[in-house]
Amino acid sequence: MKAEVTALIRRWQAGEAEAAEELFAHTFRVLRQLAGRQMRASGDSELQPTELVSEGVLRLLQHVPREIADRHHFVAIAGYAMRQALAERARRRGAGKRPQPADRRELATDLVELTLNPDSLVDLARAIDRLAELDRRQATIARLHLQAGCTIEECAEALGTSVSTARRQWRGARVWLRRELREYLDDG
């Protein structure tokens, strides 16, 4: 199965449209589960997970990423595309709003719990972009972990690094992001 998905990725990257359809069919169940987790974390209850997967797939079809290594990496990139779709929805829905304590939602990860307003997804994306200017590797870990919903182990695999290195990079990113997103953290 893993080799089959990797072969489909290579065919898709080579321009075979039918390979893209097969690839998405093979990974749909995993992508739908990931979409559900992302929607719960963001507090978005207006979409169905299948709709979010479709939005993410459309984003990926617009420009085929050339750097996809394998199935885990593909799922991480698709997860990131879905998170971007959620961020855009939040931006449109709440442009100009600031978080109110009653509106806060919990974005839980296996290493940290940030309490964020659903509309703060835009600010999270911007903070990660600023982190990328300082440390691209930490920003990539943060994107995969917070936005794509990957575990630290999946991040390490996608980036071809050790789990301990990925954890160390995540710790640095987490400290930096906590400082940047201080106004969204629920300390009480």
Q: Give tens-digit pLDDT for 60-93.
A: 777 776 677 777 778 878 888 888 888 787 777 6
How would you classify residue 119: left for phi > 0, otherwise alpha for psi between -120 and 50, otherwise beta? alpha
Q: In sequence order, what are the residues at sequence separation of 6 or more whose Cβ sits closer than 8 angstroms to the Cβ of residue 7?
A: none
What gap in Å lies between CA 161 and CA 157, rounded to an integer?
6
Three-state SS at 181? coil
Please name the residue that has the structure tokens 């885990």. 72
Domain ranges of the chain: 2-184
Give the pLDDT confidence score for residue 83 in this predicted structure: 81
Give the pLDDT confidence score for residue 101 in this predicted structure: 46
Q: In sequence order, what are the residues at sequence separation of 6 or more whose Cβ sits closer than 8 angstroms to the Cβ of residue 176?
A: 131, 134, 135, 138
- Burial readout 71-107 (b: 16 or more C-beta within 10 A, e: otherwise): bbbbbbbbbbbbbbbbbebbeeebeeeebeeeebbeb
